[in-house]
Chain A
Amino acid sequence: MNWQLILDSVGPIALGGLTGTIPLTLASFALGLLIAIGMALMRISGSAVLSGIARVYISIIRGTPMLVQLFVIFYGMPQIGITLDPWPSAIIALSLNVGGYAAEIIRAAILSIPRGQWEAGAMIGMSRGQTLARIVLPQAARVSVPPLSNTFISLVKDTSLTSVILVTELFRVAQRIAAPSGEFLTVYLVAAAVYWVICFVLALGQDSVERRLDRYAV
């Protein structure tokens, strides 16, 4: 082990995490959740067309590799005149991906809320939209925290794929340090350790969110 290299590389790699991996994760997760809620609502809308569109979207996202999706957007789209920088390409690909996976989680969570809750909402005079927003989604949120946390942690790791479209995130920084030094094992182990620390902290955060939402037990 080259201890000096570990000390020298851990700073830049962690910085790549702070300025690349983490913002990329947060932006893609937020956008992805919006897409997922939209897709989940389309799936349960009762409209065959909307539900069909959502179903196809989810199937494509889940049935194709993330890496291929990234290449289509970054290297493929310019051929039809849509040229995007690495960052926007990465955020689009990652959030579409999150949208596909989280849609089914959110759909299942909405469906797990008893019918009686919709009826109680109607009884007090709420429209379906109001009941969804004020009664059903808040309860569905609690149900979906554990599976969504898994999606979130997968997303952290998936951001490393964006190094191939030249996004300067944690793993790309590591590659840049490793190549000239030839110390691949050391540098990539440092990168792995930094990913692990990020995910470990996130898991702690998940616990505290769940405890806060557990003020009421259903």
Chain B
Amino acid sequence: MPSEIAPPPPGTGPLLRARGLHKSFGDNHVLRGVDLDIAPGTVHALIGPSGSGKTTVLRSLNGLESPEAGSLEIGELAIDFSRPRTRAERAALHRASAMVFQQHQLFPHLSVLGNVTIGPLRVQGRPRDEVMADALALLERVGLREKADAFPSSLSGGQQQRVGIVRALALQPSMLLFDEPTSSLDPELVGEVLAVMTELAAEGWTMAVVTHELAFAREVAHEVSFFADGVVVERGAPAQVFGEPRHERTKRFLQRIQGPFGR
């Protein structure tokens, strides 16, 4: 794997630190003071009921959503959301992290290779030879080298999502954001996507993952935040949050999602 796409070395202190994020859509106060810390090289799972604001938080981290208040630090970058974002700040936010969407959102008019290289070539202006070599190496890693010239519509859901992951990696972000990357896949395709994510975690990528795959969160995540009603109700190591949840909300959520027989 080319050195440029290796994750940044673990440093000290959090790579990502969000404080007091507030966001409303009209009268709907969706984020009500969200704090989030993610240490370099760790996987942070965001879990919680539908509508609790997980996607909104993740989108805010990438600059796709603009909270009205709060602050965010990713590495050297520091954003104060109570002031309007400058163009440079927006660009820096997009540059700092890369996102894998729930509905992959690949560009249907571009080939797989086109999807992966358009950002590095057209936005980052990196040399073509290098971009192509990196892209093909990344596709090889996820087993899709021979699909480089295919269009996304000809791929299975699992393959599309793996291309989505490669598109994110090719941007050379300092962290990866996943919004329920497997929840729109047929059950038999979930495994291949989670396998790639598990590998990335083992390699030391810093990742924020919104997921309903509790087994994945338990095995792979270093930390879990449980969201409800726009705040983080509980956070801790997976063993603690899943094994001995401290809050009633967390307990009820876990019972509901795991069903009467547990997992």
Binding site for B on A (CB under 8 A): 114, 116-117, 119-120, 122-126, 130, 134-135, 138-139, 142, 215-218
Q: Interface size (B, Cβ < 8 Å)?
A: 25
CB neighbours of A216 from chain B (8 A): 108-109, 151-153
Shortest Cβ gap from B164 to chain A (Å): 9
Q: For the complex, what is the distance from the CA of A119 to the CA of B55, rounded to whole Å?
A: 13
14 interchain pairs (CB within 8 A)? A119-B105, A123-B94, A124-B94, A124-B119, A124-B123, A125-B94, A125-B95, A126-B122, A130-B123, A135-B107, A139-B109, A142-B109, A215-B151, A216-B153
CB neighbours of A125 from chain B (8 A): 91, 94-95, 119, 123-124, 171
Q: For the complex, what is the distance from the CA of A70 to the CA of B162, rounded to whole Å?
A: 57
Choice from B98, B103, B122, B153 contacting A123 with Cβ under 8 Å: B98
Q: Does B215 contact A (CB under 8 A)?
A: no
CB neighbours of B124 from chain A (8 A): 125
Smallest CB-CB separation from B116: which chain A residue?
A124
Q: Does B62 contact A (CB under 8 A)?
A: yes
Q: Does B22 contact A (CB under 8 A)?
A: no
Within 8 A of A (CB), among B33-92: 62-64, 91
Smallest CB-CB separation from A135: which chain B residue?
B107
Q: Does B101 contact A (CB under 8 A)?
A: yes
Q: For the complex, what is the distance from the CA of A122 to the CA of B62, rounded to whole Å?
A: 9
Q: Does B30 contact A (CB under 8 A)?
A: no
What 18 new A-B contacts, CB under 8 Å, besides A117-B105, A120-B101, A215-B151?
A116-B103, A119-B64, A120-B105, A120-B107, A122-B94, A123-B62, A123-B94, A123-B98, A124-B171, A125-B94, A126-B119, A126-B122, A130-B122, A130-B123, A135-B107, A139-B108, A139-B109, A216-B108
Shortest Cβ gap from B7 to chain A (Å): 18
Docked-complex contact B151 and A123, CB < 8 angstroms: no
Docked-complex contact B123 and A116, CB < 8 angstroms: no
Q: Does B222 contact A (CB under 8 A)?
A: no
CB neighbours of B123 from chain A (8 A): 124-126, 130
Q: For the complex, what is the distance from the CA of A134 to the CA of B106, rounded to whole Å?
A: 13
Binding site for A on B (CB under 8 A): 62-64, 91, 94-95, 98-99, 101, 103, 105-109, 118-119, 122-124, 151-153, 167, 171
Q: For the complex, what is the distance from the CA of A218 to the CA of B154, rounded to whole Å?
A: 10
Q: For the complex, what is the distance from the CA of A218 to the CA of B63, rounded to whole Å?
A: 27
Shortest Cβ gap from B62 to chain A (Å): 6
Q: For the complex, what is the distance from the CA of A106 to the CA of B123, rounded to whole Å?
A: 26
Smallest CB-CB separation from A120: which chain B residue?
B105
Q: For the complex, what is the distance from the CA of A123 to the CA of B91, rounded to whole Å?
A: 9
Shortest Cβ gap from A46 to chain B (Å): 15
Q: Which of A120, A126, A217 counts the most B-chain CB atoms under 10 A from its CB?
A: A120
CB neighbours of A130 from chain B (8 A): 122-123
Docked-complex contact A116 and B107, CB < 8 angstroms: no
Choice from A117, A142, A215, A217 contacting B107 with Cβ under 8 Å: A117
CB neighbours of B107 from chain A (8 A): 117, 120, 135
Docked-complex contact B101 and A116, CB < 8 angstroms: yes
Smallest CB-CB separation from B63: which chain A residue?
A122
Q: For the complex, what is the distance from the CA of A218 to the CA of B152, rounded to whole Å?
A: 9
Smallest CB-CB separation from A139: which chain B residue?
B109
CB neighbours of A218 from chain B (8 A): 108, 153
Q: For the complex, what is the distance from the CA of A53 to the CA of B59, rounded to whole Å?
A: 35
CB neighbours of B99 from chain A (8 A): 123
Shortest Cβ gap from A42 to chain B (Å): 22
Q: Which 8 A-B pairs have the closest CB atoms?
A: A124-B119, A120-B105, A125-B123, A216-B151, A116-B105, A125-B94, A138-B109, A218-B108
Q: For the complex, what is the distance from the CA of A126 to the CA of B108, rounded to whole Å?
A: 17
Q: Which of A126, A134, A216 counts the most B-chain CB atoms under 10 A from its CB?
A: A216
Choice from B108, B109, B153, B167 contacting A124 with Cβ under 8 Å: B167
